[in-house]
Amino acid sequence: MNASFDIAHKTALVTGANRGIGKAILTSLVQHGAKKVYAAVRSLDSAQPLVEIFGDTVIPLELDMTKPETITAAAAVATDVELVVNNAGVLTQTNALSSKVFDHLAYEMEVNVYGLIRVAQAFAPALKENGGGAFVQINSVASLKSFPGIATYSASKAAAYSITQGLRETLANQNTIVLSVHPGPIETDMATNAGMLEGVESPTVVADGLVAALKVGNPHLFPDTLARNVWHAYEGFAKAMIES
């Protein structure tokens, strides 16, 4: 049986919690009974509306994925964390033949991959200290299938998924469960700016799906309609090669 994690009465931290999917995740964690949620954001002001809604259940913390010192400083404060959701991410619309390809790939790798590694390294000791808990990484269907107009983003999300797989086995040694989340098009600024207007679904399907997946201990979550179609094709490989 998979290990599981119930958010009720627990303390969590969400990166990029101020808007989009991260805001929906923070909201769902509070609604499902979290004791405290650290909103880890680039600008503390951007988390103020969440404090106004949820009061002192939400603690804003400065965290910039590209500034390692802010990540270690956040980890030094959030020593009671039992769930870390690494959600912050960036997307440029860059194909492989673009003149900007190296700059844009470097930027997406910096935030989406190096940032993930920095967050995992900074918070793993607290998760261990607090009994194991859970680590969630927001990946993408683009972790599995490259989309040519967002080729560099797809490459960064494939790399992030690879790191997530490694973390799953490494963190198992300290009883931390790892969940890899792979949304399709979700209605946020990122999707709108990338021109994804058709077939987008609400960020709440990701957020509520995440809470439910943790509760049953699933290692993967494909939360929306498009993502579930990808999972249908991928599930056999994932069960045989990744989850085993």
Least Å from the CB of residue 12 to ligand NAP:
16
Scanning the structure block, which residue is given the tokens 């994804």? 196
Which residue(s) pair with 59 in the sheet? Answer: 38
Are β-strands 83-86 and 11-15 bridged in parallel, bridged antiparallel, or unpaired? Answer: parallel
Closer CB to ligand NAP, residue 104 or residue 132? Answer: 104
Least Å from the CB of residue 208 to ligand NAP:
15
Closer CB to ligand NAP, residue 105 or residue 132? Answer: 105
153 counts as catalytic:
yes
Scanning the structure block, which residue is given the tokens 């090669």? 241
Least Å from the CB of residue 111 to ligand NAP:
5
- Distance, in Å, from the CA atom of 177 to the CA atom of 37, rounded to the nearest integer, reads 18
Closer CB to ligand NAP, residue 133 or residue 183? Answer: 183
Residue 98: C-alpha distances to residues 61, 105, 145, 159, 192 (Å): 36, 11, 19, 20, 21
Residues in contact with ligand NAP by the rule CB under 6 A: 15-16, 18-22, 42-43, 46, 63-66, 87-91, 111, 138, 140, 183, 185-186, 188-191
Least Å from the CB of residue 194 to ligand NAP:
8
Q: Which of 38, 107, 114, 153 is catalytic?
A: 153
Active-site residue list: 153
